[in-house]
Structure 1
Amino acid sequence: MNTEPNEVHNRPKLVTVIGGSGFVGRAVVAALAKRGYMVRVAVRKPEIAYYMQPLGNVGQIQLVQANVRYRWSIDRAIAGSDYVVNLVGVQAESGRNRFNAVHVFGAKNVAEAASAQNIPLTHMSALGADLKSASVYARTKAEGEQAVLKAAPAAVIMRPSAIFGMEDKFFNRFANLARFTPVLPVIGGGKTKMQLVYVGDVAEAVALSVEGKLNRGTTYELGGADVQSFKDWMGDMLKVIDRKRCIVSMPWWAAKFNARIIGLLPNPLITADQVTFLKSDNVVSDAATSEARTLQGMGITPQGADAILPAYLWRYRVAGQYTKMREAH
């Protein structure tokens, strides 16, 4: 009788996605599961993230508890992994989730934990990350990148522009606002250039890094198919939801003043720091383009917003999917 233990051959590689239950995380987990990876989703509250499991086959996706502010929880969550992806970030501060705590200290914890266990890492930053930025969000994102590369020099850094998709907090918020107000304010004339990127394209880029198809120790800038002003993006959104609204300019000072008041509310439309961040264009740099550190350089053709927005913004039309769209003249 053979008493030797059974050996498992060709075990699928295990990828731990930290912060994998959010908007971007769901797309990343789905892209990895589709490729056959075992995916461990590390989140603060796994008991409310069971909706992740249907993104893969039975047993392919598992949930574990972790908080980037506590190094021991990261060490435990990534143990035995073949790759780590850190997607944790906040757009507005609340409670203990401060920019510095999450973007810098948390990123440092993950990078040091991955390095200690010799596990390769992909870190999600943001387009516009800048050590000299007046925006705390942008500045801490850049400081986080520094901390990551110091601890794990071979880490892949992803810098996406504002991300759109089914559950985004960009078009959904403004489309919802357009349901209740005849006026849609744009800050500073809405002249800020933005290169919005589709969440599915961002997920594909992350998956390529996990597959080892991207250069280690490199920062990639992820921008979409189109570069437009904030005002033009709002115009496109209004066309999709078939609503006519007056787009009016709001001076920077007035926007910041209102944002400070609105920022006191839970889940504010915009914060004072976001107003500051909007003063700078958010587009892929010429250097990244020339050095092929973009989606196109990876071989990914960015999907245009015109093909994606109607698939989920229809719910903001007067009669939803049954609204008869006006014919273009």
Structure 2
Amino acid sequence: MATQPPAQQLVTVFGGSGFLGRHVVRALARRGYRVRVAVRRPDLANFLQPLGIVGQIHAVQANLRYPDSVAAAVRGSDAVINLVGILSESGRQNFSNVQARGAHTVAHACASLGVERLVQISALGADRDSKSHYARTKAEGEAAVLELVKGAVVMRPSIMFGPEDTFFNRFASLARMLPVLPLVGGGETKFQPVFVGDVAKAVALAIEGKVEGGKIYELGGPEAKSFRELVEYVCEVTGRRRVIASLPFPLARFQARILEIVNTLSLGLLPDEFLLTRDQVALLESDNVVSEAARRDGRTLAGIGIAPVSFEAEVPSYLWRFRKAGQFATSRGG
């Protein structure tokens, strides 16, 4: 654990301009750390600067596929956070390059340059034996990090919610456009939505040395809900009466294949709300909740002293824009 005050410590955050990244950068800045945001397009990360005082946050160019750029971003750092991950593949930005080899590259740079504090963000469901390539590469990245940096902290959040999330916003958008919402596997998959701010707080605690290293932590919210229950909640909050239909896994895989072809032929122009991949279907075959072992061992938000926020407390504050009358809606319908 570092003895220097935060203002004298530099933390490099890979992927700091993303959904979770902006919350992590804010949490670090509020604690007084100097923050180096390592991203592929530094010009797109300028919006982060107002989160701190003048000169506290700055962006540098780095790409996990290029070890020299990663080493340059790590050099001089007191701690490193790797948030980089993708939900679907595109060209060279594939799961193996980004989530397995990319995590190895970051960990190798830390080991080579003597950086002992490393936080790796993975995902609940990471498993080397999973049918999903996403889940397998997340697990491979975890293994590389823990092998190269013995005191690293690995965190596996469930689906994250917050104003810019890609779950609640996605289904609210679909409910606005479609009369029927098909749910893969009948919507039986269990999730444990976790507030993005709570995950950022957990990361900051790890940087402060208040989370024991060499372990994998599973981060979920206070309650687990089925896929169907969460979509029904979205419809309730947005005031949309929609038919929720079951899409069996075999049919979902076929539909996903068709959508992948359409997306390829359209050069990636298929709207994100409609994109479904076979790998995502495979992920939905397993529940996405905190394990009993993690709860027993204290490797959870509660175990590190964070009382998780429920999705009911936050989601309505940003889904109002999907109602017919926006924030002025007083009745359900649609």
Match for residue 165 of structure 1 among 145, 153, 162: 162
Structure 2 distance, partners of 1:30, 1:291, is 29
Counterpart residue type for residue 73 of structure 1:
S
**Once superposed, what is the RMSD of the aligned Cα atoms?**
1.4
> Is the CA contact 1:240–1:310 (under 8 Å) kept in the aligned structure 2?
yes
- State the structure with more CA Rg: 1
Structure 1 distance, partners of 2:124, 2:111, is 25
Match for residue 11 of structure 2 among 15, 19, 22: 15
Counterpart residue type for residue 307 of structure 2:
T
Q: Which residue of 2 aligns with 1:226?
A: 223
Match for residue 206 of structure 1 among 183, 203, 207: 203
Deviations 1:91-135 (A, max 9, x none): 100121110001111100000101111111000111000010000
Structure 2 distance, partners of 1:316, 1:326, is 12
Runs of 4+ in 1 over 3 A off after TM superposition: none
Q: Which residue of 1 aligns with 2:249?
A: 252
Structure 1 distance, partners of 2:76, 2:63, is 18
Structure 2 distance, partners of 1:99, 1:302, is 29
Q: Which residue of 2 aligns with 1:26?
A: 22
Give the CA deviation at 1:156.
0.4
Structure 1 distance, partners of 2:158, 2:167, is 12
1:313 has 2:319 as partner: yes
Match for residue 60 of structure 1 among 56, 62, 68: 56
> Is the CA contact 1:187–1:250 (under 8 Å) kept in the aligned structure 2?
yes
Counterpart residue type for residue 117 of structure 1:
L
> Is the CA contact 1:135–1:274 (under 8 Å) kept in the aligned structure 2?
yes
Percent identical among aligned pairs is 55
Match for residue 323 of structure 1 among 296, 320, 329: 329
Q: Secondary structure at the match of 1:238?
A: helix
Q: Which residues of structure 1 form unaligned runs of 5+?
A: 1-8
> Is the CA contact 1:173–1:269 (under 8 Å) kept in the aligned structure 2?
no
Q: Secondary structure at the match of 1:220?
A: strand
> Is the CA contact 2:185–2:284 (under 8 Å) kept in the aligned structure 1?
no
Structure 2 distance, partners of 1:270, 1:94, is 13
Give the CA deviation at 1:60.
0.9
Structure 2 distance, partners of 1:51, 1:251, is 42
Deviations 1:143-168 (A, max 9, x none): 11111111112110000011111111
Q: Which residue of 1 aligns with 2:124?
A: 127
Match for residue 296 of structure 1 among 295, 302, 325: 302
Structure 2 distance, partners of 1:55, 1:263, is 38
Structure 2 distance, partners of 1:311, 1:74, is 38
Structure 2 distance, partners of 1:144, 1:284, is 19
Q: Which residue of 2 aligns with 1:83?
A: 79
Give the CA deviation at 1:326.
4.7
Structure 2 distance, partners of 1:116, 1:234, is 46
Q: Which residue of 2 aligns with 1:269?
A: 275
Q: Secondary structure at the match of 1:263?
A: helix
Q: Which residues of structure 2 form unaligned runs of 5+?
A: none
TM-score, normalised on structure 2? Answer: 0.93
Q: Which residue of 2 aligns with 1:287?
A: 293
> Is the CA contact 1:91–1:137 (under 8 Å) kept in the aligned structure 2?
yes
Structure 2 distance, partners of 1:130, 1:318, is 42
Counterpart residue type for residue 102 of structure 2:
G
